[in-house]
Structure 1
Amino acid sequence: MSETRDRRSAGGLAHVADPAALLYGALIAASVLATASAHAEAYTHVAVATTFVLGVYWLAHVYVESQSLQLSGDGRRYLHRLGHTARGELSIIQGGLPAIVVFVVADRAGLSVGSAAAVAVYFSVAVLVGAGYLTARAAGRQGWAAVLDSAAAGLFGVLVIVAKALLH
């Protein structure tokens, strides 16, 4: 892949409202899928629990960011600030939903709840590795430096896989 194309791809990630929140959402969804699937037999329980936790995490970010804006001198009314931050923090939801969709599709394709969760967690690791590579390339890293950044990003996902293995 050419450097220009790499930077353009990473630029697409940079145009997300909050790329860091997108990755947080992916990590949260993978973590909850891994832990909830360890003891649940119904895929609906795991999918609902993951969606719920992702939503709570999003709401916490909305509230904290709204309060932070006020402390920084933002004089808008509370509900206006909440609406503004709710839209700004949607990247968390956008980051977590793909793993939930992969989980549901894998389950509906006939995999067990645990196997479907594993597929979704592996998918999340791939997302983290890809994002690590794209951001490394956007920062101008090439060759092994970009690969190392990519591997480091994927390490967080590997920690989720290890946690999943320890729970079973």
Structure 2
Amino acid sequence: MEKVIHGVKIECVQGDITKQEGFDAIVNAANAQLMPGGGVAGAIHRAAGPGLAEECRPLAPIKPGQAVITGGHNLPNRYVIHCLGPVYGVDQPSDKLLADCYRNALKLAEQHGITSIAFPAISTGIFGYPMEEAARVAFEAIFELIPSLKSIKVIRFVLWDRKALEIHERVLGNMF
């Protein structure tokens, strides 16, 4: 599914965030130390190689809602933007902190002239954020920033499984 808002294409696909050929940047659902872990962070670090952890080390720790940018190393993307999402029910206010992840990632992308960016469903794995609520927060934050975006032309959500894809497509369709 895709929608175009103010000239920016928003799309949802099922797939692997580490295999987003043709995208300037991917977003890592990072941990505070920006190190390899499970889920998205582990997959991105494995695909990028050890140079990513080395580049991340001096940038850590980050707080929920913050974003930092590094090179893509062995990934097919020039950049990785690392965001620390909130742990649902622990980091408060969860909705504002999650929205800040998307806002701060897009602001960093704009500062670096990035034209295409791929996001995972931040905080919906081990951090426990309910998928539908997380999708709503993400799309609201993105819609709010779209009118001010200059370089970004494509925003992709890369969802790991069919259920996550269906939820994101439904939420996007209902909001647009």
After TM superposition, the score normalised by the length of structure 1 is: 0.30
**Which is bigger in relative contact order (C-alpha 8 A, separation at least 6)?**
1
More strand by share: 2
Answer with 1 or 2: which has the greater Rg: 1
More helix by share: 1
